[in-house]
Structure 1
Amino acid sequence: MTVTAPALASELRRAVIMAARRIRAERGSADLTDPQYSVLVHLEKLGPLTPGQLADLERVQPPSMTRTVSCLAEAGLVAKSPHATDGRVVVVSLTETGRTEVSETRQRRSAWLEGQLDAMAPDERARLADSLELLWRIAQA
């Protein structure tokens, strides 16, 4: 059976979106929004950043990021400190509580996905594994 690119694109898009939504539904105990969690992940990967840098990474306006950072700081997930050379700028860093939240969320998401994969027959897991290279190629285009 021949599958057309438009038909496959439509079904693949829907499946990837639904899978991503389901994985994102698994959250740590802080029950953060997706943008809040994304900020924590950036800080974990890149280290301390300014709100402006975080806004650029998230492709949002600086005032929006300032509100996000303030919420995360109030929850004890990030710490704000003065910039070393520019007193007008704040530097945001991940606290140990924030690091724990990132780890817990990742563990919950991985556990959910592993459960779904464990429920598959070995040949289904093999077919899925075979498609990973193609999915990565699409993701990196």
Structure 2
Amino acid sequence: MSTAPPPPLTHTELADRVRLATTRLARRLRQRAESGLSPSLGAALATIDRHGPLTPSELAERERVQRPTATRIIARLEEDGLLVRAAHPDDRRSCRVAASDAGRVLVQESRERKTAYLARALEHVSAEDQATLDRAAAILERILEEEGRG
């Protein structure tokens, strides 16, 4: 006796499933980062490392926070020696921040720990499921790129 496949998920049901899985994965990866930073500080430092040097306003825009929040984050990261601040070349009233050597090392080590955690987990996943995850990652990247343009 064969059973019929389950009906396809609605867009809302699929969105809920993807949201829950990605949220749980993101939380697990943050736990594996072992950077000692809060999620918001870690994300801001990674953004500055990847896209810097940035002004506080540019960081606020990229992190989707208010400028005063970005300013507080910058102050904390600078206090911890993870950022360096320099005068803006075109505007003396503004500054730009970049990851310090210590900040770059922290971000790199954090990325390596998260990647290693996920690589170990993927060792136990079939080649077919790995290919499915690769396609899913490409789809998620495309969704994020399209959303970023809109």
TM-superposed deviation, 1:39: 2.0
- The 5-angstrom pairing of residues 113-132 of structure 1 reads 113-132=118-137
CA 1:97 to 1:10, structure 2 compared with 1: closer, same or farther past 3 Å? same
- Cross-structure match for 1:82: 87
Query: What secondary structure is seen at the aligned counterpart in 1 of 2:33?
Result: coil
- Cross-structure match for 2:17: 11
Give the percent of matched residue pairs that are identical in Structure 1 and Structure 2: 34
- The 5-angstrom pairing of residues 1-141 of structure 1 reads 1=5, 2-5=7-10, 6-29=12-35, 31-141=36-146
Q: Name the aligned partner's letter for residue 87 of structure 2.
A: P
The structure showing larger relative contact order (alpha-carbon pairs under 8 Å, at least 6 residues apart) is 1
Q: Name the aligned partner's letter for residue 24 of structure 2.
A: M
Aligned residues between the structures: 140
CA distance in 2: counterparts of 1:68 and 1:27, whole angstroms: 19
CA distance in 2: counterparts of 1:50 and 1:61, whole angstroms: 13
CA 1:111 to 1:42, structure 2 compared with 1: closer, same or farther past 3 Å? same
Once structures 1 and 2 are overlaid, which stretch shifts more, 99-108 or 89-98? 89-98
Q: Which runs of 5+ in 2 are unaligned?
A: none
TM-superposed deviation, 1:91: 1.8
CA deviations 1:96-138 (Å, max 9, x no partner) are: 0010011011001101111110122334334433444433344
CA distance in 2: counterparts of 1:64 and 1:9, whole angstroms: 30
Q: State the Cα RMSD in Å.
A: 2.0
Say whether the 8 Å CA contact 1:28–1:102 is kept in structure 2.
Answer: no
Say whether the 8 Å CA contact 1:27–1:105 is kept in structure 2.
Answer: yes
CA distance in 2: counterparts of 1:112 and 1:138, whole angstroms: 25
Once structures 1 and 2 are overlaid, which stretch shifts more, 108-117 or 42-51? 42-51
CA distance in 1: counterparts of 2:77 and 2:27, whole angstroms: 22
TM-score, length-scaled by structure 1: 0.84
TM-score, length-scaled by structure 2: 0.80
Q: Which runs of 5+ in 1 are unaligned?
A: none
TM-superposed deviation, 1:43: 2.0
CA distance in 2: counterparts of 1:18 and 1:87, whole angstroms: 43
